[in-house]
A and B are shown apart, each in its own frame.
Chain A
Amino acid sequence: MAIDIYKINPEFRDIMPQEIIDLEENATWAEKMDKPRGIKELPETKELLEEHSLCAGCPEAAALRYVLSALPTPEDTIIVNSTGCTSLMFPHIALHTVHSLFGNQNAVASGIKRSLTWRFPDRIKDVVVLAGDGATVDIGLDYTLQSFFRQEKITTICFDNEVYANTGGQESGMTPKGQVFKMAPTGKKFEKVKMWELATTSGCHYSINMTASAPKAVAKAVREAILIAREIGPTYLNIYTPCILEIGLSANEGLGEMKDQDKDRFASYKYISPEAEAHLKKCKEEGLL
């Protein structure tokens, strides 16, 4: 069915909000495109995110726009979310999304992916987990890693803002050592968890640590990660999306912070397994990249 579900019944067209009509007429659904989707179309087309409810200048909102613009087949993509700042944006996404509990996102996604593979054996249904660092690395670490061990064919994207932002700025496992936050009044006592390395050793076929400073780079990583997850196995993206509020930056300073961290805590890390590399080569030949 896929894209058909976004076609508006003519009887109801006159009462439909403009953004719903735009989704039908001017969104970059894969079925309508003769080339891979990407951020190039963002200014001219209807985005899959209708506004958002995050703080002004929040890099997470920008990163989500890049992610959504790069989904290979959004009309057949389910996004599984968790509790946190990201969950504030999910109701604004025009796809099937799930918010279940705090930390169980990779377990829910595992069930959905396997169930859809069983129900639709001849169709590709991508399942993408998108959650914050608290959900991915603290409360949900067991479920994140276990989904990697089990080789679930899902992509996990962690919007790493290095803090529990939505609850007011408490230390997380991804907070850098020494940082003063709530619950770490004298500074964090242990190192930032290198989740991208854990992902590699836990069975991910593609693991990246990056910031969201370069939209094209984010879009490329998302697309590659999802294409690998479809065929080979789990993939992981750790993307720095700083909480400008909690580290005392203004709304226009998020990009600068991400650029600074491109050379520091988020200096590029990329792992790709030989099978995944071979698969990407094939995807390139087939025009999927």
Chain B
Amino acid sequence: MSKRSDMTATKNWSGQTMVTADHMLFEAPRTKHFMTGSEVLKEAVKRCTVDASVSYPITPQSEAAHLIGELWAEGYVGMYFRGENEFGVMSEVAGCAMSGSRTITTTSGPGTLRAMENFPQWSGTRIPCQLILMARGINSPLTIQPDNLEVTFMLETGCMIWYAENVQELFDMSIAAFIVAEKPDVHVPIVTVVDGFFVSHTRESVMLPNDDIALLPYEPYKSPLPPIDSETPPGRFLRDPFVMKSNYISYATHASWQWEVRSAVERSRPYAEHFLKGLLHESGDVDAEIAFITCGTASHQAKEGQRELAKLGIKSKVIKLRTIRPFPTKELIKSLEGVKHAWVPEFNVVGWLEKEVKTALYGKSDTNIIGGPRVAGGMSLPAEAIIQEVMEVLNPGKGA
């Protein structure tokens, strides 16, 4: 175990040299490794000078939460324990973060919904904690398969939501996530999503910087709200009974507070653009009239579909959304210029990304947005299914 007081001006408590996120993500030399999403998250947390983590072995579980526990035992993470259930864990995370600790936890599927009341509370208290959501669907029936239905419930919690496609993106995003969430003009929680099992349990090659460097620590006194540590005067937020009185002021205060949380998410755009190199990424033929709008693993499958379509002489491109909150509306409109048809392949039954896309584009784009193909409950999304959808529109009645 480490002591926080072991930290010096240049070294953190575990002896790692502290560096900026820019150095960590863009400048530090990297070497090739081969690991799962859970294992790569451990490597990311190891390099983030994390104060605190609280865990729960949710089913469907990933190894991520207990691997972070190993980091605590090894002295990289300051404080760690197992909570009683996801509602408790997210409340314990809130306690850690509001008292000034850089804090991370993970969950998935049903656990996300059990903890749900906490997420708007997190954003309402402006804590910059990070949740790694390894999406695994929602009961009933019982499922432990990859499915990202739970993301739809997270959309209006006031948290930032980023979506990683693969193991490499999970590593880079989860490091950048702390830095963006902790910006004083942002300072809201961040949910970094990956499709569970496909990313959490699948081994891929990944390029990592050395583990003798780590991020500079979180500075709680740059927070827009005083950390709960008795080191700053109790804020008016704490002392004004604005929520408690049924008068005009309480309505206005509550409403403006909620707007401010959403504005803070919007203010994260330039930072996300910098660290993610754009809120969306395009691949395939730039001048294609066919596009796939995706996030997560669906992007990987859509890229395969794009390559197969190219063999048939059909140009297409994949527009991968890297942030869902904030939603990259402006960037998406630009990417869809000249596109006649765009499909939104998804790993859930409700088509939450299709709804998001259509809401964002309504009245602003002439592209025909087509929901699907859509799979759920753990089904895979073969490129053939994507190609079939495309061909049924291009060659009606003739199929692929």
Q: How far is the CB of A75 from chain B (nearest CB, A)?
A: 6
What mask results when residues 239 to 256 of chain B are scored 1 for a CB within 8 Å of chain A, else 0? 111101100000000000
Q: Is there a chain B Cβ closer than 8 Å to A87's Cβ?
A: yes
Chain A residues, Cβ within 8 Å of B93: 111
Q: Is there a chain B Cβ closer than 8 Å to A170's Cβ?
A: no
Q: How far is the CB of A23 from chain B (nearest CB, A)?
A: 10
What mask results when residues 33 to 54 of chain A are scored 1 for a CB within 8 Å of chain B, else 0? 0000000000000000000010
Chain B residues, Cβ within 8 Å of A119: 4, 51, 99-101, 229
| A1 in contact with B92 (CB, 8 Å) | no
| A142 in contact with B81 (CB, 8 Å) | no
| A100 in contact with B52 (CB, 8 Å) | no
| A111 in contact with B94 (CB, 8 Å) | yes
| A118 in contact with B52 (CB, 8 Å) | yes
How many residues of chain A have a CB within 8 Å of chain B? 44
Q: How far is the CA of A26 from the CA of B156 in the complex (A)?
A: 46
| A94 in contact with B52 (CB, 8 Å) | no
Chain B residues, Cβ within 8 Å of A78: 99, 228-230
Q: Which of B117-125, B357-365, B379-387 contacts A (4 or more CB under 8 A)?
A: B117-125
What mask results when residues 67 to 102 of chain A are scored 1 for a CB within 8 Å of chain B, else 0? 000000001111010000001100111111110110
| B88 in contact with A125 (CB, 8 Å) | no
Q: Is there a chain A Cβ closer than 8 Å to B95's Cβ?
A: yes
Q: How far is the CA of A40 from the CA of B97 in the complex (A)?
A: 37
Chain B residues, Cβ within 8 Å of A95: 230, 234
What mask results when residues 93 to 113 of chain B are scored 1 for a CB within 8 Å of chain A, else 0? 111111111010000000000
Q: Is there a chain A Cβ closer than 8 Å to B345's Cβ?
A: no
Known: A53-B244, A107-B88. A115 touches B99 (CB 8 A): yes
Q: How far is the CB of B192 from chain A (nearest CB, A)?
A: 20
Q: Is there a chain B Cβ closer than 8 Å to A6's Cβ?
A: yes
Q: Is there a chain A Cβ closer than 8 Å to B373's Cβ?
A: no
Q: How far is the CB of A127 from chain B (nearest CB, A)?
A: 9
Q: How far is the CB of B76 from chain A (nearest CB, A)?
A: 13
Known: A100-B91, A111-B91, A116-B229. A121 touches B125 (CB 8 A): no
Q: How far is the CA of A114 from the CA of B3 in the complex (A)?
A: 13
Q: How far is the CA of A1 from the CA of B229 in the complex (A)?
A: 10
Chain B residues, Cβ within 8 Å of A226: none
Q: How far is the CA of A211 from the CA of B84 in the complex (A)?
A: 31
- Contact for B81 among A92, A116, A150, CB less than 8 A: A150
Known: A110-B92, A115-B99, A121-B3. A94 touches B117 (CB 8 A): no
Chain B residues, Cβ within 8 Å of A5: 230-233
Q: How far is the CA of A111 from the CA of B94 in the complex (A)?
A: 7
| B88 in contact with A97 (CB, 8 Å) | no
Q: Which chain B residue has the least Cβ–Cβ distance from A91?
A: B241
Q: Which of B85, B125, B233, B245 has the most CB of A within 10 A?
A: B233
| A75 in contact with B230 (CB, 8 Å) | yes
Q: Is there a chain A Cβ closer than 8 Å to B216's Cβ?
A: no
Q: Which chain A residue has the least Cβ–Cβ distance from B229?
A: A116
- Contact for B95 among A2, A88, A108, A142, CB less than 8 A: A108
| B241 in contact with A92 (CB, 8 Å) | yes
Q: Which of B4, B85, B95, B240 has the most CB of A within 10 A?
A: B95
Q: How far is the CB of A67 from chain B (nearest CB, A)?
A: 17
Q: How far is the CA of A116 from the CA of B220 in the complex (A)?
A: 12
Known: A98-B228, A108-B94, A110-B92. A121 touches B5 (CB 8 A): yes
Given A1-B230, A111-B93, A114-B81, 8 more pairs with CB closer than 8 A: A92-B239, A100-B95, A101-B117, A107-B89, A111-B52, A112-B228, A115-B51, A121-B4
8 interchain residue pairs of minimum CB distance = A111-B95, A107-B91, A91-B241, A104-B91, A111-B92, A146-B84, A108-B95, A112-B95
Q: Point out residues on B near A: beta carbons under 8 Å.
A: 3-5, 51-52, 54, 78-79, 81, 83-85, 87-89, 91-101, 103, 117-118, 121, 125, 226, 228-234, 238-242, 244-245
Q: Point out residues on A near B: beta carbons under 8 Å.
A: 1-2, 5-6, 53, 75-78, 80, 87-88, 91-98, 100-101, 104, 107-122, 125, 142-143, 146, 150
